[in-house]
Chains A and B, each alone.
Chain A
Amino acid sequence: MKQMLNREPFALAAFSLVILLMPIWLTPFGANYPDLLQKFAIFAIFAMGFNILFGLTGYLSFGHAAFLGVGSYAAVWSFKLFTMNVLPAIVFGVAFAGIFALAIGYVSLRRSGIYFSILTLAFAQMSYNLAYSVLTPITNGETGLQLTLQDPRIIDNAFSTPGAGLPETNLFGIDMSGYPGFYFCAVVLIICFFITRRIFNSPFGLTLRGVKSNQNRMGYTGINTRPYTLAAFVISGMFAGLAGSLLAVTDPLAGAERMQWTASGEVVLMTILGGVGTLVGPMLGAWLIKYLENIFSSFNENTLEHFFSFLPEGLQAIAVDVSSLFVGEGWHLTLGVLFMLIVIFLPGGLMEGWRRLLRRFSGGGGGKSEPAVAVQPAE
C-alpha cells in the first residue's frame, strides 16, 4: 500500500478519488453541503501553498493573507471589467498575487527568522490598511468590492445582451455556484496537489529543505539560496492568489478583512495543525479548522441541551454552561485551546499523531519503523 502510494499515478488517482467523493464520505459528518465543501477545497489550496514556503524553507510568513486578498480583488475586477468566465479571473488573480509576492518577497527575504515574520506582517498590514482607506477606488473600502449592474464587462457584453440582475460566475456556461463550483475547486485542488507533490520530490524541493535545516551550510556548499527561497515565496504567494480568486469565483465579493493579520494567522494555524512540511497535513488542518468553525459556530444552547439530555438535571445545566463557552460566538475559544494543545503535545500536527498511531500498531516493533521527521526552525 505504502509503496503504491509513493508512485505518482496511484497517488494522484487516490487523491482525486478522495477529493471528488467528498460530498459522499462527508455526509455522515453533516458537512456535505456545497458552501462548506468549496471552502474545504479553497483553504486546502491556501494552506498547501503556505506549506511550500513554511514547511519546506522554514520561513514563517505572517502576511500571506495579503496575497489571498490581492487574488480576490484581481478576480473580482476581471469579473467587472471583462467577463464572468472564471478562467481569466483565476489567471489574473494568480498573476497579480505572483507579482505582489515577488515584490514583497524580494525585500522580506533579505532577513530571516523573526525579522522576516515581522517584515511580511508589516507589508500585509500596510496592504490591509491601504485597502481600507486610500485605495477605496480600487477596493471599495469597508463595503468590499462587489459586482454592480453598471459594470462594463467588455467581453461578455460584446457577445450577448446583459440580462436583468447580476450575472453569475460561469465556466463556459456552467454556473459556478453549488456543486459545480465545488467540483471546479476540487479539480483545481487536485492540480495543485500534483504541482506540490512534484515540488516536494524535486531537487528544488530538496534545496528548500536544505535551507530549512541549515541555510549557512547550504551557502558553504556554494548554493546561493536566495533565488530558491524567493521562488518558493512567489509560488506560495501564487497559491494564495489562486485560493483568493477561487473565493471570488464561488462568491464574487472581495473585502479587505481577508487581508488582515488574523487571516494570515489562520493559515499558519491550519498548517501547524495538520503538520508542517508534510504533503497532505496542511490540507487536513484546513479541513479540520473550517469544519470546526462551521459546526461549532452553529451550535447554540438548545442543541447543547439536547446533546447533554442524557445527564441528570443539575449536571446537564453545568455541562451546558461550560460548553456554551466554546460554541457559537465563542468558537474561537475552541480554536485557541485546540491550537495550544496541538502545539504543546503534538508539535508535528495531525500527521505526527497519525505516524505515532501507525508506529504503535505496526506489529509492536518500536525501533524499526520510519524515523519521525524532526521539525526544525529556520536559523
Chain B
Amino acid sequence: MDAIFLQLLNGLDKGGAYALIALGLTLVFGTLGVVNFAHGALFMLGAFCAVTFNKLLSLEKVVVDETQQTAWGTPLEVRTPYIESWFGEFGSFLLNYSVPVSILIAIPVMLLIGIVMERGLIKHFYKRPHADQILVTFGLAIVLQEVIKHYFGANPIPQAAPAAVAGSADIGAWLGLGDGLVYPWWRLVYFGFSAFVIAAVFAFLQFTTYGMVVRAGMRDSETVGLLGINIQKRFTVVFGIAAVVAGLAGVMYTPILPPDYHMGMDFLVLSFVVVVVGGMGSLPGAVLAGFLLGILQSFASMNAVMSIFPGINQIIIYLVAVVILLTMPRGLLGREGVMEE
C-alpha cells in the first residue's frame, strides 16, 4: 500500500511537467494550428532562466583577509555574493529562493521569446503543411539548444531548492500510513505549482472575456474575424502564454532535474506523445494524459512490475500511446474533426 501510494506521488511531479508542456503544445495547436517542435526548447529556456538568475545572484566579491590563514598557509579568501553585501539578510533570502524568485524573471522573458518566435517565424507557417511546420520548428529547436550549449556548456547544472523545502516530507505520518513514507518536499511543491498554473490557464480561458474570444477563435477563427476582432493578435498572445507555461515548468523543474541543453528534446518527444494520447487540440485531454502517463511511468518502474515485465518502465509511455491511438482514434478526449482526414 505504501509503495503504491509512493509511486502515485512519484508520478505526480513528472506528470505535472508533462501536463504543463503538453498544455502549451495543445494551446498552440488549437489556436494557431501549428505543430511546434520547438516547444521543448522553451521548457529548456525556462530552466536556463533560473540558471542565469542564480548565476547573476551568486556573483561573488572576493576579499583577501590577511589576518586569517587557510590550512595551506595562504591568506584566507572571503567570498561574499554581492547581493548579500548589498542587501544583507534580504540578499541571502533572495539567493536561497533563487529558483522560485526566477519565476518573476522568467514570465516576461518567456513571454517576449514566445511573441518574437511567433511573429518572427511561426507566423509565416500557418498556411504551410504540417510537415513544414514540424521541420522548421525542429530546426529552431536545434538552434536554440546549440546556442544554450555554447554558453552554458554540455554538463547539467544542478540548482538547489530553497532550504526550507530541501528535505523530505513525512507523508506517512500525516496520513497514518506508517513511517516509511517520505517524499521530497520540492516535488510536492512542483505538483502544487503545476496544478496552480493549469488552473490559472483554464480560468483565464474560461472566465475572462479575452479567454472567451480565444476559445471562440479556436472553434472558428474566420467567424470571429468577421465580427471585427483581430483574432491573430490574441493568438500571438496565446502563443506567448504557452511559452510562459513551458518556461515556468522548466524553471521549477530545475531542482528535480539539473538542466542541460538537451532536456527540452527529451521532454518534447514525451510531451508530443502526451498530446496525441490526450487528443489533439483538447486542453483537458492534455492535462489528463500528462498526469496519467507520468503516474503509469512511475508505476512501471516498481520492482514488482519490473520483475514480471522487464524493461517495461522504458517503454510504457510509448506502449500506452500505441494502444490508445489504435483503439481510440482521437485520443482520450479529442474533438471530432481535428487533424483528421
A residues sitting closer than 8 Å to B (CB atoms) are 58, 60, 107, 110-115, 117-119, 121-123, 125-126, 129-130, 132-135, 215-216, 261-262, 265, 268-269, 272, 325, 329-330, 332-333, 335-337, 339-340, 343-344, 347, 375-377, 379
Alpha-carbon distance between A113 and B276 when the two chains are bound, in angstroms: 12
Residue of A nearest to B135 (CB): A343
> In the complex, how many angstroms separate the beta carbon of A236 from the nearest chain B beta carbon?
16
Is A340 touching B326 in the complex (CB atoms < 8 A)? no
Q: With A114-B339, A133-B311, A336-B140 given, can you name 9 additional A-B contacts, CB distance below 8 Å?
A: A111-B326, A112-B341, A118-B321, A129-B315, A216-B341, A336-B146, A337-B143, A347-B132, A379-B341
Please encode chain B, from 130 to 152, with 1 for each CB lying within 8 Å of some chain A CB and 0 for all others.
11101110111111001101100
Alpha-carbon distance between A377 and B128 when the two chains are bound, in angstroms: 9
Interface of B is mostly: helix
7 contacts between A and B (CB under 8 A): A107-B322, A119-B322, A121-B272, A123-B318, A126-B314, A340-B139, A340-B143
Alpha-carbon distance between A202 and B270 when the two chains are bound, in angstroms: 39
Is B139 touching A339 in the complex (CB atoms < 8 A)? yes
B residues sitting closer than 8 Å to A (CB atoms) are 35, 121, 124, 128-132, 134-136, 138-143, 146-147, 149-150, 265, 269, 272-273, 276, 280, 310-311, 314-315, 318-319, 321-322, 325-326, 329, 339-341
Given A268-B135, A340-B140, verify A134-B311 contact (CB < 8 Å): yes
Is A344 touching B124 in the complex (CB atoms < 8 A)? yes
Residue of A nearest to B128 (CB): A347
Residue of B nearest to A127 (CB): B315
> In the complex, how many angstroms separate the beta carbon of B57 from the nearest chain A beta carbon?
27
Alpha-carbon distance between A118 and B321 when the two chains are bound, in angstroms: 9
Alpha-carbon distance between A291 and B240 when the two chains are bound, in angstroms: 38
Is B269 touching A333 in the complex (CB atoms < 8 A)? no
Given A115-B325, A126-B315, A339-B142, verify A134-B273 contact (CB < 8 Å): no
- Which residue of A60, A114, A121, A269 has the most chain B CB atoms within 10 A of its CB atom? A114
Given A112-B341, A261-B269, A330-B149, verify A122-B322 contact (CB < 8 Å): yes
> In the complex, how many angstroms separate the beta carbon of A37 from the nearest chain B beta carbon?
26
Is A113 touching B130 in the complex (CB atoms < 8 A)? yes
Alpha-carbon distance between A375 and B132 when the two chains are bound, in angstroms: 10
> In the complex, how many angstroms separate the beta carbon of B44 from the nearest chain A beta carbon?
14
Is A332 touching B146 in the complex (CB atoms < 8 A)? yes
Closest 7 pairs (CB-CB, A-B): A134-B311, A336-B142, A377-B129, A129-B314, A333-B146, A339-B139, A122-B318
Alpha-carbon distance between A255 and B131 when the two chains are bound, in angstroms: 29
Alpha-carbon distance between A126 and B309 when the two chains are bound, in angstroms: 14
From B143, B314, B339, A133 is in contact (CB under 8 Å) with: B314
Inter-chain contacts of B341 with A (CB < 8 A): 112-113, 215-216, 379
Is A344 touching B318 in the complex (CB atoms < 8 A)? no
From A265, A336, A343, B143 is in contact (CB under 8 Å) with: A336
Inter-chain contacts of A110 with B (CB < 8 A): 326
Inter-chain contacts of B280 with A (CB < 8 A): 114
Alpha-carbon distance between A126 and B311 when the two chains are bound, in angstroms: 10
Inter-chain contacts of B140 with A (CB < 8 A): 336, 340
Is B315 touching A272 in the complex (CB atoms < 8 A)? no
Given A110-B326, A122-B273, verify A134-B129 contact (CB < 8 Å): no
From B272, B314, B326, B339, A134 is in contact (CB under 8 Å) with: B314
Inter-chain contacts of B149 with A (CB < 8 A): 329-330
Inter-chain contacts of A126 with B (CB < 8 A): 314-315, 318-319
Inter-chain contacts of A329 with B (CB < 8 A): 149
> In the complex, how many angstroms separate the beta carbon of B135 from the nearest chain A beta carbon?
5
Inter-chain contacts of B142 with A (CB < 8 A): 332-333, 335-336, 339
Inter-chain contacts of B128 with A (CB < 8 A): 347
Alpha-carbon distance between A333 and B141 when the two chains are bound, in angstroms: 10
> In the complex, how many angstroms separate the beta carbon of A27 from the nearest chain B beta carbon?
31
Alpha-carbon distance between A135 and B315 when the two chains are bound, in angstroms: 12
- Which residue of B131, B140, B280, B318 has the most chain A CB atoms within 10 A of its CB atom? B131
Given A112-B341, A130-B315, verify A330-B321 contact (CB < 8 Å): no
